[in-house]
Amino acid sequence: MSYGGGFVSVFGYGFLNSTGLNCSFEWIGSPSVVFVSSTQIMCEVPNMLAARSSKALGYATLRVTLNNRDWSRTSLSFRFLGECPIGHYCQHRAFNEYTFRLLPCPAGHFCESAGMSVPTPCPPGSFMPYRRQVQCQLCPIGFWCPRSRMFQPIGCRRGWVCDEPGLVVPYKRCPAGFYCEEGVATRLSRSTLYLDRRKPKPCPPGLHCFEGAQAPNPKPSNYSTPQPCFQGPVPLSWGL
């Protein structure tokens, strides 16, 4: 970060544990350097803002010296951030290192504010299929999203209707006289054209579909499927 602090691990060869060992970030020296081995040192990040560096919010060249006079011919490009940008989160590379990694917000999560170290899971009723997002998408009609961290919604259950966005669980049964296959998005049998394939289907002729019917093929005593209609006239007393 541009205000300094923390350490950057630098890997190479020929490092010496000497008083002249130092690092520079665009010629701003490190406050301290930790010798780890002949192939690794750890450079403390200087406060680039206090040093009035033009690279305080950009890319700086990182160099190493063994005698505080002659600098390495090879260098690294180091990016300073005011804060971890939105759509990303920043974490240490490992428990024993202090170098930050800029990581894209993963699918099923959102990173809505700058400076986040942990991505926020999408709550139930929402999902996010893409990375680097600042908000989750509401579960659309015809689907339900029962868990957090979802990157893909689930089609509405057979025998149910999902006609509201943001559903955590379906709670409306398929209307009587119809059956509902997976993904039904309206209770209306006569609906707009774009929902024609996602609406309840009429019960087959000669059969009756109870509320919550799931399929067109009848199975005896299975009321999630169509059942035969009663034969013969209906007694008038039934309607009194």
The pLDDT score that the predictor gives to residue 7 is: 82
- Find out whether 105 and 129 touch, Cβ atoms under 8 Å: no
**DSSP string spanning 12-78?**
-S-----TT-EEEETTEE-S-EEEEETTEEEEEPP-TTTTT-TTTTSEEEEEEESSSSSBPSS-EEE
The pLDDT score that the predictor gives to residue 239 is: 39
The pLDDT score that the predictor gives to residue 45 is: 83
Q: Model confidence over 127-184: pLDDT tens digits? A: 999 999 999 999 999 999 999 999 999 999 999 999 999 999 999 999 999 999 999 9
What's the N-to-C CA distance of the chain in angstroms?
81
Residue 198 has phi, psi (to 5 degrees) of -125, 30
- Find out whether 158 and 177 touch, Cβ atoms under 8 Å: no
The pLDDT score that the predictor gives to residue 95 is: 47
pLDDT lower than 70: segments of the chain = 1-5, 49, 53-57, 81-82, 92-100, 191-196, 231-240
